[in-house]
Amino acid sequence: MKPPLIPPTPRHINLKPTGPVSLLTAFAEEQWTNSANLAKQRYRTTKDPYYLAVEIAARSQSDNVADRNAGKVAVESMIKDNVTVTDADTLDLYEFACARTDIKYSETIGVLRARLVKAVPKDQKSCTRCFDACVWNSDWKNAQQLCDECPEASKKIFGALAKAQADKAFDLRAATPGNDQPVDRPIGSESEAWLWLNIRISSCSPKENLELFRKPEFSPLAFLKAGQQEPYWIALSYLQTYHAWEDIFQIGKEIFEEATRIAQKEASAIEEDEKVISLRKLAETEGKENSSVKKDLTRAIAKARPPRSLKDQSYISASCEYGLFIAIFGAAKAQPDKKRQVRQLVDKLIKALTRAESMRPIFQRTHDILSLSILIARGSPADPKSDGYTTRVANLTNHVVQHYNESRCVNEALTFISELTKSEVIAFVTSLCATTVKCDDILQRFMLTSLTLRIRYAMAMGAVCLLRLAGIGTESPPMGTNSLYYANIQLFLQAVIWLDSCLVMSPSVSNTHRLLLVKLYLLMGCVSRARTLWDRFDVKNALLDSLGLLFIDRISSIAPGLFISGPSRDNPVQPFLVHFTRGLMTTIPKKIMEALEMGTYSSIQEMIRHAEKQTSSCTLVMAVVEERRGLRMKAGKIEVPIEDLPLVRNLIPGHVIRDNTDYGIFAVPDSESVQSLPSLVHYGPLPTGGRAHAGLIAERFLDLVCYVQPKEYKPSKAGQIAQLDWKYASATSSHLEEEMRGLLALGDKGLLDQEKVNAAKLRDSVRGNYTMPEYWYYGIIWRLANAVRSILGHGFLSTSTNETREFDRFLIKGIINNLEDQTQDFLEVPENIHSKIYAFHGFAALHAMGMLRESILAVKYTTNYLTSISEKLKNTDKARANTELAWLAPELKKMNAAAAESENKIKARIKLLKDYLSNVDGWRDRLCDWVFGDYTTAYDKDPEFKQEVASKMKAVIPKANGELWADKVGESWRELMNGWAAVRFD
Amino acid sequence: MASFRRFRPDDLDKFSKCNLDPLTETYDLSFYLQYFAKWPSLFQVAEDPNGNIIGYIMGKLESSPDYFQYSEHYLPWHAHITALTVAPEARRLGIGKILTENLEVAAEAGDAWFVDLFVRKSNTRAINFYESMGYSVYRVVKDYYGDNVNDPTAHGEDAYDMRKPMSRDKTLKHIREDGRNHDVQPEDVF
């Protein structure tokens, strides 16, 4: 299920200038209480409903729940009583009044807007304002009503009506203009045709659409002839989706033949041009190096080329498109008898384009690559026992040698290499080396040598290879913190120093290289070093959604210092929140209105789609959760609840949240048999919608237990109000418990045996989305919610029994056990950590410390909450409190004691690591020793290999560079621990 | 291998190959959506087979505002190239040329008199590229760029305002042979 779009920023309100100056001033200065009082007085004297709306709008800005909902209540009653507001200013005020509440615009304010337009259709200014307001609030139903003033009944057939209207307009394309009678407006622009196609595709069956696209006037070619490239592509892609191969073949055939004809015609004109003839002769005699002749010739050819009509240009462009190639090759694959014909058509076209000097490098390259892929796919792979020199290898070698001076060459080669067998890969590299040696041209020899090295480097994946050898990602860490748990730390550090040295020596390394280093530094807790490298990418604004999580995921639990020092607006996730808030609440509604004004309807649809994508983005949710965790590290509790954050307040677990990260930035080809590079180097499992939801549920639970009633709130019927509060808290915690249980696939009570097996399988797969510390944390939140629900139900809202008390004790025991186990996991040092490098584990396990701290806080907040409501019960019903709550206080004490115990462990760890960094002599030597020293033991796998790698690293990386690196790492850890030292636990 | 098509907002999530290049600026969402909302046919992308955007061009169709109409610097209805970028790994394949040609087709369809653009005077590669496509310098905008890449101590760098006539300009009245000799100030430029 898609989450609802985030409501837009409330539109700015200006009061009518005819009102009293005091009111205008108070409203403009946002003195809401004063404004409400002044408006109330004005309404009393004038009886003008406008001032009643002003009063409600001002009251609605209050934090008092009743006042805040005043607008919503007023609007709902107007809908119910069939009231029509005929003043657009008044409606604007009601819209403003409802902006902070969850209302369905299309069923409330939108309806009032539609009523206004029907009541005063001649008041064009008001009508336009109402239309704009509906568009701003994505109320397309009422916006359409306002446009067409269609009757109520037609709302139901809105979709069909839109389609019929669009069809009618499309049919009118050919209608002769100049008729005196007013006719409906035909579809004319490309944008309108695009919109029409989208309506057709979404509202008609494939059979109907395919039949339509087969008619000459609706064929993709009809769009192409009209120069409407996008509709042509939409229709062609549709045919491809539904495997209409014969249609695609016919369309492709016509495009290739027509493009060949156009190119041949152009070629003849060029070849007959006298200036071209003489310049070509001159070029032949003077040699191709003469650039001025070359330039003159290019100009003369351009001049001699007959001007292309829109249709000709469209055909030539379409004929060179990769998309058409793929489509027609697909058609030929499905219809083997057409293969030969396709080949002939393409060859003919290439010949004609080359003759007309219209051949484009990208088209030539597309053709070469597709031909090569066919050759490689057709060729038989090498026999495992053979030397690997197959035709496929020969073809690939020829391709690389031919294109050695082009930047894409390495990537293309790597794509094909992934299809070769191991012996073929060896043969390919050997054959490339042999060709290089034979080269006479020094530049070519140099380039080919470089290419061979780059290909070898990429195949071995350099540092990635070391990482894999280090064992990262080979096993999922059962109780660890990140993929370093089972890794060989020395090989890991060697990979890091190697990548870092390359970066120092050649700062213009690839983005993949730099990103890899960022991720590795995050894994080992060198966050400031990672941030320095990350900042060079300058990931900001429109790139935040697609790349941001590569840095900020889990950052608050690793480096709370990023949130603690400096003002809150400087924390690393603030730009994300600004980006999403501005983009979704202002930019998109604004741009949709601009597109409507410009008549670019296709843009509107795409922008709405993009808004939907952003609304359900993991980046958005993670940014909110990370910020709240980070701020809690700094200030303890958070004042603003999730319910007050429009970006996430409407998200529920049923809504699908997606990871929009662009992993294409890791431009290293992965083998299917191993864990992908992005997940290998990410701090724990990659982002998922489930994890995002779990984060939000935990925040909602913390909001519940942290809520403190304002001191000035002193209700007259305190006991009754307290009961209502507890009912609300019980229902909320019950709801949160249920949601978290669902997300973590916990609990199998009442299930049959087979169902229990399935549930366990599901639980294991769900567990794979979390780090172990996260899983502990969300588990504790689930247990806490369950306990709050049960304790409220059995002590506060109804009388408890021995049984219920026993059950609640059992729940509390579960919480304490969970916390103790989490603490134990945090303290455990993995077996792979050599005694000399225990400290490294401490820096790499900071995420576990961060999540443990979150668990401690959750336990503390819950006990505080239960203690405070126990006090309330004592104040309102002492007798009952004495009998009901005597058992609870000692249990809460136990919970607090467990939290304090875990807190001490964290504090001790922080102190230990800080002391380690500041007290140990010869820090630099120690770190270098970790990297270059011999730490192999008799039980190691491949000790010789490890010794060889260490000695080679020592030989390759200058000592000074190694020491400098060690200094940077130490400094980064020091900075990190300073941040941790400032973390609050209350 | 690349496909050429119009930009879609979701392409922003696939911009990394282009925009992580230090010379390509990443703007706020509203900047891209403004072009997409108003001039979708002038915002074109090149997409590789994996869906990555490996090049894009952004342009607009406009004239100077009315209050400029009596100024000698008034610009009639024309297309303007705001940004053109190709990912480093996809350069030298003619992608920039195809994107520019596609924008010119859209400019023709929009009945523009010409297509224009600004380029740093020192960016000879870009100037040669545009000249090879039929653009010529129309005027020099003094100190147009705030910085000077060749001399950080100097004032801003000059820009060339380059133009290519569209078929509407049959007499080439909006083109100058000696544009490099015509200097204007940044405030004269719309």
Per-residue pLDDT of B67-99, as tens digits, reads 888 888 899 999 999 999 999 888 888 899 999
d(CA A302, CA A409): 30
**For residue A674, what pLDDT is reported?**
60
Range of A132-146, A677-691, A909-923 with top mean pLDDT: A677-691
* Mean pLDDT computed over A36-54: 94
Which phi-psi region, left, alpha or beta, contains residue A240 (left: φ > 0; alpha: ψ -120 to 50)? alpha
- The token pair at A242 is 């539904």
**For residue B150, what pLDDT is reported?**
65
B40 to chain A: which residues are within 8 Å by CB? Answer: 191, 600, 602-603
Candidates B30, B41, B94; nearest CB to A360: B94
Closest residue in A to B8 (Cα) is A606
- The token pair at A576 is 């994300």
**For residue A669, what pLDDT is reported?**
56
B14 to chain A: which residues are within 8 Å by CB? Answer: 546, 662, 664
**For residue A407, what pLDDT is reported?**
67
* Mean pLDDT computed over A840-865: 93
| Rounded alpha-carbon distances, angstroms, from residue B84 to B89, B93, B117, B123, B141 | 15, 15, 10, 14, 20
Query: Is A583 in the B-facing interface, judged by CB distances under 8 Å?
Result: yes
Asked if residue B108 belongs to a domain, the reply is yes
Classify residue A614 as exposed, middle or buried by CB count within 10 Å of its CB (0-12, 13-18, 19+): buried
**For residue A169, what pLDDT is reported?**
63
**For residue A777, what pLDDT is reported?**
97
Cβ separation A606–B27 shorter than 8 A: no
Closest residue in A to B29 (Cα) is A542
* Mean pLDDT computed over A400-419: 76
Query: Is A541 in the B-facing interface, judged by CB distances under 8 Å?
Result: yes
Cβ separation A233–B17 shorter than 8 A: no
Query: Is A310 in the B-facing interface, judged by CB distances under 8 Å?
Result: yes
Cβ separation B1–A362 shorter than 8 A: yes
d(CA A305, CA A365): 24
Asked if residue B32 belongs to a domain, the reply is no
Query: Is A223 in the B-facing interface, judged by CB distances under 8 Å?
Result: no
Cβ separation A603–B94 shorter than 8 A: no
Query: Is A294 in the B-facing interface, judged by CB distances under 8 Å?
Result: no
Cβ separation A542–B38 shorter than 8 A: no
Asked if residue B104 belongs to a domain, the reply is yes
Point out the least confidently predicted range of A307-311, A534-538, A708-712: A708-712
**For residue A893, what pLDDT is reported?**
95
Closest residue in B to A229 (Cα) is B5
| Secondary structure element (H or E) that encloses residue A352, with its range | helix A339-355
Candidates A542, A592, A609; nearest CB to B28: A542
Asked if residue B21 belongs to a domain, the reply is no
* Mean pLDDT computed over A311-333: 87
pLDDT band for A583, please (50, 70, 90 cuts).
Answer: very high
**For residue A865, what pLDDT is reported?**
95
Query: Is B10 in the A-facing interface, judged by CB distances under 8 Å?
Result: yes
d(CA A647, CA A635): 22
Q: Testing the interface with A: which of B1, B48, B172 to mutate, by most A Cβ within 10 A?
A: B1
Please state at what angle helix A888-919 crosses helix A878-885, rounded to 10 degrees. 60
Is the confidence at residue A433, as pLDDT, over 50? yes
pLDDT tens by residue, A125-134: 888 889 889 9
Closest by alpha carbon to A798, among A749, A727, A851?
A: A727
* Mean pLDDT computed over A43-53: 94
**For residue A154, what pLDDT is reported?**
39
Closest residue in A to B27 (Cα) is A541
pLDDT band for A382, please (50, 70, 90 cuts).
Answer: confident
Asked if residue B31 belongs to a domain, the reply is no
Candidates B8, B92, B167; nearest CB to A406: B92
Closest residue in B to A309 (Cα) is B105
A592 to chain B: which residues are within 8 Å by CB? Answer: 37
Q: Testing the interface with A: which of B18, B19, B104 to mutate, by most A Cβ within 10 A?
A: B19
d(CA A730, CA A790): 8
d(CA A461, CA A499): 11
Q: Where are the beta strands (DSSP E) in A669-734?
A: none
pLDDT tens by residue, B19-68: 999 889 999 999 999 999 999 999 999 998 889 999 999 999 999 988 88
pLDDT tens by residue, A242-267: 999 999 999 999 999 999 999 999 99
Point out the least confidently predicted range of A428-432, A483-487, B121-125, B143-147: A483-487
**For residue A353, what pLDDT is reported?**
92
Cβ separation B26–A408 shorter than 8 A: no
- Give B 118-157 residues with CB within 8 A of chain A: 132, 134
Candidates B1, B31, B37; nearest CB to A369: B1
What CATH code is carried by the domain that includes residue B151? 3.40.630.30
Is the confidence at residue B135, as pLDDT, over 80? yes
Q: Which amino acid is at B12?
A: L
> Across chain B, what does the average pLDDT equal?
92
| CA–CA min distance B138, chain A (Å) | 19
Cβ separation A511–B20 shorter than 8 A: yes
| CA–CA min distance A207, chain B (Å) | 27
**For residue A153, what pLDDT is reported?**
43
Task: Round to the nearest angstrom and report the end-to-end CA distance of chain B.
Answer: 37
- Residue A767 — φ and ψ, nearest 5°? -60, -30
Cβ separation B29–A307 shorter than 8 A: no
- Residue B152 — φ and ψ, nearest 5°? -65, -20
* Mean pLDDT computed over A790-817: 91
pLDDT tens by residue, A484-499: 767 778 888 888 998 8
Q: Comparing A545 with A310, which gets the higher pLDDT?
A: A545
Cβ separation B109–A227 shorter than 8 A: yes
Q: Testing the interface with B: which of A316, A451, A543, A602 to mutate, by most B Cβ within 10 A?
A: A543
Cβ separation B92–A313 shorter than 8 A: no
B89 to chain A: which residues are within 8 Å by CB? Answer: 407-408, 411
* Mean pLDDT computed over A202-213: 89
**For residue A170, what pLDDT is reported?**
64
- Give A 180-199 residues with CB within 8 A of chain B: 190-191
Cβ separation A229–B5 shorter than 8 A: yes
Inter-chain Cβ pairs, chain A and chain B, closer than 8 A:
158
Cβ separation A600–B37 shorter than 8 A: yes
Query: Is A588 in the B-facing interface, judged by CB distances under 8 Å?
Result: yes
A533 to chain B: which residues are within 8 Å by CB? Answer: none
Cβ separation B38–A547 shorter than 8 A: no
**For residue A831, what pLDDT is reported?**
66
| CA–CA min distance A310, chain B (Å) | 8
Q: Testing the interface with A: which of B6, B7, B11, B13 to mutate, by most A Cβ within 10 A?
A: B13
Cβ separation A592–B37 shorter than 8 A: yes
> Across chain A, what does the average pLDDT equal?
85
Cβ separation A594–B41 shorter than 8 A: no
3-state secondary structure of B119: strand
Percentage of chain A lying above the pLDDT 90 cut: 44
pLDDT tens by residue, A720-766: 888 899 999 999 999 999 999 999 998 777 777 888 888 888 888 88
**For residue A475, what pLDDT is reported?**
52
Point out the least confidently predicted range of A202-206, A640-644, A714-718, B33-37: A714-718
- The token pair at B40 is 């979708």
Cβ separation B29–A595 shorter than 8 A: no
What domain count does chain B have? 1
**For residue A182, what pLDDT is reported?**
41
Is the confidence at residue A380, as pLDDT, over 80? no
| CA–CA min distance A227, chain B (Å) | 9
Q: Residue B116 belongs to what domain range? A: 56-188
Q: Testing the interface with B: which of A311, A317, A322, A584 to mutate, by most B Cβ within 10 A?
A: A322
Asked if residue B96 belongs to a domain, the reply is yes
Cβ separation B1–A360 shorter than 8 A: no
Candidates A191, A233, A583; nearest CB to B29: A583
- Residue A439 — φ and ψ, nearest 5°? -65, 135
Classify residue B10 as exposed, middle or buried by CB count within 10 Å of its CB (0-12, 13-18, 19+): middle
Cβ separation B40–A302 shorter than 8 A: no
pLDDT band for A178, please (50, 70, 90 cuts).
Answer: very low
Is the confidence at residue A173, as pLDDT, over 60? no
ipTM: 0.92
3-state secondary structure of B86: strand
pLDDT band for A925, please (50, 70, 90 cuts).
Answer: confident
| CA–CA min distance B28, chain A (Å) | 5
Indicate the domain borders of chain A. 21-156, 380-460, 506-519+526-679, 688-709+724-919
